[in-house]
Amino acid sequence: MKTPNSAKSASGLRGTYEGAAADYTVAQAWERYTPEMHDRWRRLYARQTELAKRHAAPQILSGLAALDCADGIPDFARTNVLLGAATGWQLVAVPGFIPDDCFFDHLANRRFPVTNWIREERELDYLVEPDIFHDFFGHVPMLLDPTFASFMQAYGGAGRRAIAMDALDMLARIYWYTVEFGLIDEGFGLKAYGAGIVSSAGELVFSTEDAQVLRLEFEPVRVMRTAYNIDRFQSCYFVLESFDELLKGLVDLDFGPIYERWRETEPLPAGEFHDGDRPYRGNLQA
Ligand SMILES: [Fe+2]
């Protein structure tokens, strides 16, 4: 998620906020990417697509195939033609983290902010802030799926109310455990669709194969009440049966009373099983 962060690096393209518009958008400046940057993208892309074939949701795989961006850092102008025709979404370039209200406004208007810089060579396996590889490879394929695309817009719309009700932490946990670290089992095995997983070599395998980690069936209120890890693999994952379930979870629920009931309480620690939880059994049952 893109939340405000004052820690900005001055190196290269990273975090250049000067000249950004009021909505924090900047030009992608595609022509400024060097051959080394495109080569880094190609290597990241090749590694992750190989893992994704086994562990990622089919929507990720079909999205990546349609985006056709194995050969170098994609030009958003080209991507936007495809995205616009498929679901009406558009990518906008941003320098990195942007304020929450601005982020929600982009989503509510089917604009997805994508960081315009790529990680350094030493950050191939891990980086703190999202870069263009995380934002594009992890998030954009799902924006081609009509149901997920509608969910993302609805999530943006929910943001304003969460801010007004001082319940942003609760809503942000929905994003974290779905858009970033979500798993799904539509009847043919456990697969990842969350961008934080899909763009991570280690967590793509861990989240779908580890026999010990807690996996629960998706339940929106439980998700909103669960803390998460920001600097290591998740201790808990929530598993959808379908993306319709995700969209319905956001559209059908009245979040107001839920915020009022839980916003003052400490979240449940990640990784703890509680009464009433529905464990995901799926393909790990054997
Ligand atoms: Fe992300």
13 — pLDDT class (breaks 50, 70, 90): low
Ligand 1 centroid to Cα of residue 195, in Å, is 6
**Residue found under tokens 């455990």:** 177
CA of 239 to the centre of ligand 1 (A): 18
Confidence (pLDDT) at 10: 43
Stretch 7-23: mean pLDDT: 70
Using the 8-state DSSP alphabet, how is residue 56 labeled? B
120 is catalytic: no
Q: What is the average pLDDT score of the chain? A: 93
Active-site choice (55, 134, 200, 207): 134
Position 243 pLDDT exceeds 60: yes
Q: Measured between alpha carbons, how far is 285 from 276 in angstroms, rounded to an integer?
A: 19
Distance 178 CA to ligand 1 centre (A): 10
Please give the sequence-ordered ranges of beta strands (E in DSSP) within 87-138, or none if there are none. Answer: 90-94, 111-115
Rounded CA gap, 123 and 44, in Å? 11
pLDDT, one tens digit per residue, over 203-237 is: 999 999 999 999 999 999 999 999 999 989 999 99
Whether the Cβ atoms of residue 153 and residue 105 lie closer than 8 Å to each other: no
Return the percentage of the chain with pLDDT > 90, whole number. 86
Taking CA 25 as the corner, what is the angle to CA 139 and CA 18, rounded to the nearest 5 degrees? Answer: 125
* Residue 274 falls in the annotated catalytic set: no
Mean pLDDT calculated for residue range 180-201: 96
Which entry of 139, 200, 203, 207 is annotated as an active-site residue? Answer: 139
Residue 141 CA to ligand 1 center (angstroms) comes to 12
- Prediction pTM value: 0.93
- Is 272 tagged catalytic? no
Distance, in Å, from the CA atom of 213 to the CA atom of 218, rounded to the nearest integer, reads 15
180 is catalytic: yes
Copy the structure tokens of residue 272. Answer: 């703890």
